[in-house]
């Protein structure tokens, strides 16, 4: 589909073989769990299979034909990700095993290089555990202090509190672009600008934004940005860390091993330049190639059109869910993307998930690896319907019908 044609969701759906699958009681899959992991288009599945059947070899290690071919495919994927993210000169893209590993890499490397006793790291109350625990570990190790930007009842960052908490001791601000538990879209460009003025560095967790909206690193202005391949129509086992070269260059390596060295003796090892310095060992080659294909696929669809399509689902879904008696939406930010979390007065989220599953509808129920968010709203768990570029209004109607069944059974 050309990026200028109207968005044809039926045509997009044909690219995803799994969407034809019958899952339960003769019901066709209604997949509303893309925040956990997205489905994969045939072109990504084919790219991985083609690599294994035609090009399989290790990268950066051999002079033989296949090794060179695999290396070219691997490095091409880096270019594809760079253009997908709108990365800048002076920045580098590193492949990791996931968004979680990318954040840990920065917490470890930036922490060792730049954070000392008495310094502060600022995160927000709506972070995923992957953007909390690595900073907690760093603060414990370095004697630094973890501070938390509170959120209001609608699930938005309280920006006055951010302004108040940001100070000369703040070394790192690490916040999510889009909350996986609430769907809130945060004002990341403003956060980056204010942090820069205060002399702090910023990491933006883009795990839930990169699949849903155009990403322009120039406009965001972050020092680090992370994304998860498997949430962007790519395979599992691969993530992206984008960062400013001047910082990455000064960060110690994250793991030691093959490909991250210039020379090794028993007395001393010297390290390779970035990105190789942070890609120790045989990387996830097939996964990186698959992710490059996914980035191309998304670029061809047009991320602005994907965002518009999903915005329509968000507006329609919110309107429809609000009409289900006894249902409360958790997170009512003005800017939302990707996910709607909710509770029902008659049933526990796990029961909601179970009844919907009987209808072939996949949602996530639980704390979404964001327990502090649940604590903020005084709930143990929510049910979460999350969207992808292949979802339709008809699937939201199916969800609403399923929720009425939940009421019939439990109310």
Q: Is the dihedral of CA 358, 359, 360, 361 positive or negative?
A: negative
Q: For ligand C6P, give the closer residue by CB, 70 or 333.
A: 333
CB atoms within 10 A of CB 346: 16
**Least spacing, CB of residue 131 vs ligand C6P, in Å:** 6
Least distance (Å) between residue 47 CB and ligand C6P: 20
Catalytic, 369? Answer yes
Site for ligand C6P in 7-46 (CB under 6 A): 35-36
Asked if 99 is part of the footprint of ligand C6P (rule: CB under 6 A), the reply reads yes
Centroid of chain to Cα 315? 22
Q: Which of 108, 147, 364, 367 binds ligand C6P (CB under 6 A)?
A: 364
Torsion angles phi and psi, residue 22, rounded to 5: -90, 125
Catalytic residue among 91, 139, 346, 369: 369
Phi, psi of 175 (to 5 degrees): -135, 155
Residue showing tokens 């095993």: 97
Q: Which of 368, 372, 381, 403 binds ligand C6P (CB under 6 A)?
A: 368
Task: Report the DSSP beta bridge partners of residue 178.
Answer: 185
Cβ pair 28, 21 in contact under 8 A = yes
Do the beta carbons of residue 243 and residue 341 sit within 8 Å? Answer: no
Q: Which of residues 69-98 bind ligand C6P (CB under 6 A)?
A: 98
177 and 224 in contact (C-beta within 8 Å)? no
**Residue 100 within binding range of ligand C6P, rule CB under 6 A:** yes
- Asked whether position 124 contacts ligand C6P by CB under 6 A, the answer is no
Among the candidate windows 47-55, 114-122, 309-317, 361-369, which touches ligand C6P by CB under 6 A? 361-369
86 upstream amide cis, omega within 30 of 0: no
E-strand spans in 16-132? 22-24, 27-28, 30-31, 91-96, 120-124
Q: Which of residues 203-262 bind ligand C6P (CB under 6 A)?
A: 205, 207-208, 228, 239
Binding of residue 104 to ligand C6P (CB under 6 A): no
Residues 29, 45, 159, 369: which binds ligand C6P (CB under 6 A)?
A: 369
Q: Which residues, 135 to 164, sit near ligand C6P by CB under 6 A?
A: none
User: Least distance from C-beta 382 to ligand C6P, angstroms?
Assistant: 11
Closest approach of ligand C6P to the CB of residue 247, in Å: 21
134/360 with CB nearer ligand C6P:
134
Distance set, CA 254 to CA 13, 227, 273, 297 (Å): 40, 18, 13, 31
| Termini Cα distance of the chain | 45
115 binds ligand C6P (CB under 6 A): no
Is residue 294 involved in binding ligand C6P (CB under 6 A)? no
> Do residues 311 and 356 make contact, with C-beta atoms less than 8 angstroms apart?
no
Task: Tell me the catalytic residues.
Answer: 369
Per CB under 6 A, residues contacting ligand C6P are 35-36, 98-100, 128, 130-131, 176, 180, 205, 207-208, 228, 239, 364, 368-369
């Amino acid at each position: 589909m050309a990026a200028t044609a109207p968005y044809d969701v039926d045509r997009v759906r044909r690219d995803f073989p799994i969407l034809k699958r019958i899952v339960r009681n003769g019901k066709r899959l209604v997949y509303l769990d893309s925040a956990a992991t997205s489905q994969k288009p045939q072109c990504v599945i084919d790219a991985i299979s083609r690599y294994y059947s035609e090009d399989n070899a290790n990268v950066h290690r051999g002079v033989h034909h296949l090794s060179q071919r695999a290396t070219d495919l691997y490095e091409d994927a880096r270019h594809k990700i760079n253009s997908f993210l709108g990365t800048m000169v002076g920045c580098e893209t590193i492949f990791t095993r996931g968004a979680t590993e990318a954040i840990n890499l920065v917490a470890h490397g930036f922490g060792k290089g730049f954070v000392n006793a008495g310094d502060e790291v600022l995160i927000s109350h709506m972070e995923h555990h992957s953007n909390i625990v690595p900073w907690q570990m760093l603060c414990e190790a370095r004697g630094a202090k973890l501070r938390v930007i509170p959120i209001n009842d609608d699930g938005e960052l309280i920006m006055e509190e951010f302004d108040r908490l940001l100070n000369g001791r703040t070394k790192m601000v690490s916040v999510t672009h889009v909350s996986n538990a609430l769907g809130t879209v945060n004002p990341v460009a403003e956060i980056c600008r204010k942090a820069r003025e205060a002399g702090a560095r910023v990491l933006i967790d883009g795990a839930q934004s990169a699949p849903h909206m155009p990403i322009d690193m120039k406009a965001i202005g972050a020092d680090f940005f992370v994304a998860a391949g498997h949430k962007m129509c790519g395979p599992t086992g691969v993530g992206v860390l984008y960062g400013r070269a001047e910082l990455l260059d000064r960060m110690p390596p994250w793991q030691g091993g093959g490909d991250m060295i210039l020379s090794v003796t028993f007395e001393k090892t010297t390290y390779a330049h970035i990105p190789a310095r942070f890609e120790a060992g045989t990387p996830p080659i097939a996964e990186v190639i698959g992710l490059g294909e996914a980035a191309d696929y998304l670029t061809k669809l047009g991320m602005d059109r994907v965002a518009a399509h999903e915005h329509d689902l968000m507006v329609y879904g919110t309107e429809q869910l609000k009409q289900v008696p006894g249902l409360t939406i958790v997170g009512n930010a003005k800017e939302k993307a990707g996910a709607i979390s909710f509770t029902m007065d008659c049933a526990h989220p796990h029961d909601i998930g179970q009844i919907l599953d009987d209808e072939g509808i996949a949602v996530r129920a639980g704390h979404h690896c964001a327990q502090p968010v649940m604590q903020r709203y005084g709930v143990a768990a929510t049910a979460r319907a999350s969207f992808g570029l292949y979802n339709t209004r008809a699937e939201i109607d199916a969800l609403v019908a399923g929720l009425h069944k939940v009421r019939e059974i439990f109310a």
